[in-house]
């Protein structure tokens, strides 16, 4: 069992997010060299900041702290959506890549929304 899991739901979102990181890293390797230090850097930075916020939220026992990290995680996901849209617009990724990437993020956003709602009800 993973040390970052308080519940099965937390573990699912964590695993799904790792899947997103693996997928993203595979995709950005194919970007042109000219984008390695700009768009690729922003995508990776957003991914790893998101992972950090996810880990903090899983580990937080204080409701306010947890919600703060979950909201920061949500902001990172939204930033990632914009960066992926830019990648598609500039034709660095195929329509299939865009669709797959977007679907992964949407799944995570849906899980996150449920988690935030459950925190607000407590």
pLDDT per residue over 10-38, tens digit each?
789 999 999 999 999 999 999 999 998 89
Asked whether residue 2 is assigned to any structural domain, the reply reads: no
pLDDT per residue over 63-76, tens digit each?
999 999 999 999 99
Residue 91: left if φ>0, alpha if ψ -120 to 50, beta else—which one?
left
Above pLDDT 90, what percent of the chain?
A: 84
**Number of compact structural domains in the chain:** 1
Asked whether residue 3 is assigned to any structural domain, the reply reads: no
The overall average pLDDT reported for the chain is: 92
Asked whether residue 12 is assigned to any structural domain, the reply reads: yes
pLDDT per residue over 45-55, tens digit each?
999 999 999 99
Tell me how far the alpha carbon of residue 114 is from its chain's centroid.
15
Q: Any idea what the CATH number is for the domain that residue 20 is in?
A: 1.20.1440.60
For 84-115, give the DSSP string: HHHHHHTTSS-HHHHHHHHHHHHHHHHHHHHH
Asked whether residue 22 is assigned to any structural domain, the reply reads: yes
Q: How far apart are CA 32 and CA 86, in angstroms?
A: 14
What integer is the mean pLDDT of 83-102? 96
Q: How far apart are CA 58 and CA 104, in angstroms?
A: 20
Q: Give the residue among 8, 116, 9 at the shortest CA–CA distance from 66.
A: 116
Q: Torsion angle of alpha carbons 66, 70, 71, 76, nearest 10°?
A: 140
Asked whether residue 38 is assigned to any structural domain, the reply reads: yes
Which residue range forms the structural domain that includes residue 14?
8-121
Task: Give Cβ neighbours of residue 57 (< 8 Å, ≥ 6 apart).
Answer: 66, 69, 70, 73
pLDDT score of 26: 96
pLDDT score of 3: 40
């Amino acid at each position: 069992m993973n040390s970052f899991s308080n519940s099965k739901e937390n573990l699912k979102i964590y695993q799904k997010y790792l899947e997103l990181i693996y997928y993203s890293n595979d995709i950005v390797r194919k970007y042109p060299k000219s984008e390695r230090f700009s768009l690729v850097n922003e995508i990776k930075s957003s991914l790893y900041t998101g992972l950090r916020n996810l880990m903090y939220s899983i580990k937080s026992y204080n409701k306010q702290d947890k919600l703060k990290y979950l909201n920061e995680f949500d902001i990172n996901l939204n930033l990632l959506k914009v960066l992926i849209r830019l990648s598609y617009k500039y034709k660095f990724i195929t329509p299939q890549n865009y669709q797959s990437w977007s679907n992964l993020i949407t799944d995570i956003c849906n899980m996150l929304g449920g988690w935030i709602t459950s925190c607000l009800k407590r």
